[in-house]
């Protein structure tokens, strides 16, 4: 296995997967909207067929969770239909496909971390369409990994860490939701794990986040602590911060299946944030 097709190659996760593939002497076939528009079914098939990959890592997605409530058809086209087409190709070519999914396929009402065996029940359009993508992968392919992640942060693109750093420059005081619990996932750590998976045949659904859990409020507190920023943060409830799309209150994902399969679990999220800070400060110097 040498030629790896990566969709969403310019996104937070995709860009780190591309870097990792190069380090490990793979041939990354990175595509983003310019090379493969996921709203164009014919283009997906044509480009994939022309590239002749040995495996597919499908990171490309519609991820604007609130906007998705106003654009359900577009969100479905990208997250569900495009995934169906890629799964069909993978099946016909008999190659593995790794699909990035989300904690948002759950409703968040469970009091303990979600396992891969728990029944999905998405409460927003984004979650509904990502679950539909999972179902296509499962129905059409046998050589698949479905990897559910949450609260993603990487050096590329927009994320909660960058938002907090930006707000800290202009706001001495910030209100942050404290009653949604989950786990941050650092794209550099995740990229390593995904390539480890691709070299195995332990196909199936896995949950993969950095170790530990926190609320958005806890996450913000740790960001300001690590960056030595003096910002007052006030814990608020979800009800005090209404958003267009509903969010699950509990987004914690159990890592037990990952560990049982002898894959390398991701390090604690605080350590991941520290490594992100080092990466970020290095870029700021350049």
Question: For a pLDDT cut of 70, what percent of the chain falls above it?
Answer: 100
pLDDT of residue 1: 77
CA angle 213, 258, 247 (to 5 degrees): 40
Rounded Cα distance, 271 and 184, in Å:
11
* Start-to-end C-alpha separation, the chain: 35
Rounded Cα distance, 137 and 55, in Å:
14
Q: Where are the domains of the chain?
A: 3-158+183-213+252-267
Fold of domain 3-158+183-213+252-267: Rossmann fold (3.40.50)
**pLDDT exceeds cutoff 90 at 286:** no
Handedness of CA 46, 47, 52, 57 (dihedral sign): negative
Catalytic residues: 126
**Angstrom distances, CA of residue 27 to CA of 55, 207, 226:** 11, 26, 36
pLDDT of residue 285: 85
Predicted TM-score (pTM) of the model is 0.97
Mean predicted confidence (pLDDT) in 120-138: 98
The model's pLDDT over 229-267, given as tens digits with 9 standing for 90+, comes to 999 999 999 999 999 999 999 999 999 999 999 999 999
């Amino acid at each position: 296995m040498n030629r790896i097709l990566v969709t969403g190659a310019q996104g937070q996760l995709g860009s780190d997967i591309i870097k990792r593939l190069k380090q490990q002497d793979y041939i990354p076939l990175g595509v983003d909207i310019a090379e493969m528009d996921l709203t164009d079914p014919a283009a997906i098939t044509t480009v994939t067929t022309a590239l002749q990959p040995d495996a597919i890592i499908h990171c490309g997605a519609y991820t604007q969770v609130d906007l998705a409530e106003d654009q359900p058809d577009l969100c479905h086209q990208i997250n569900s239909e495009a995934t169906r087409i890629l799964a069909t190709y993978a099946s016909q070519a008999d190659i593995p496909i790794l699909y990035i999914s989300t904690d948002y396929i759950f409703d968040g009402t469970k009091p303990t971390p979600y396992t891969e065996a728990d029944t999905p029940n998405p409460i927003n359009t984004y979650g509904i369409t990502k679950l539909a993508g999972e179902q296509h992968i499962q129905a059409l392919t046998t050589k698949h990994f479905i990897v559910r992640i949450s609260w993603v942060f990487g050096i590329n693109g927009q994320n909660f860490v960058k938002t907090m750093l930006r707000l800290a420059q202009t706001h001495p005081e910030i209100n942050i939701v404290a009653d949604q619990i989950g786990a941050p996932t650092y794209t550099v750590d995740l990229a390593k794990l995904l390539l480890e998976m691709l070299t195995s045949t332990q196909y199936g659904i896995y949950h993969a986040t950095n170790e530990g859990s926190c609320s958005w409020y806890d996450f913000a507190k740790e960001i300001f602590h690590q960056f030595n920023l003096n910002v007052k943060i006030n814990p608020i409830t979800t009800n005090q911060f209404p958003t267009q799309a509903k969010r699950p209150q509990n987004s914690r994902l159990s890592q037990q299946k990952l560990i049982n399969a002898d894959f390398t679990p991701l390090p604690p999220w605080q350590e991941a944030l520290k490594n992100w800070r080092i990466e970020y400060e290095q870029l700021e110097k350049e």
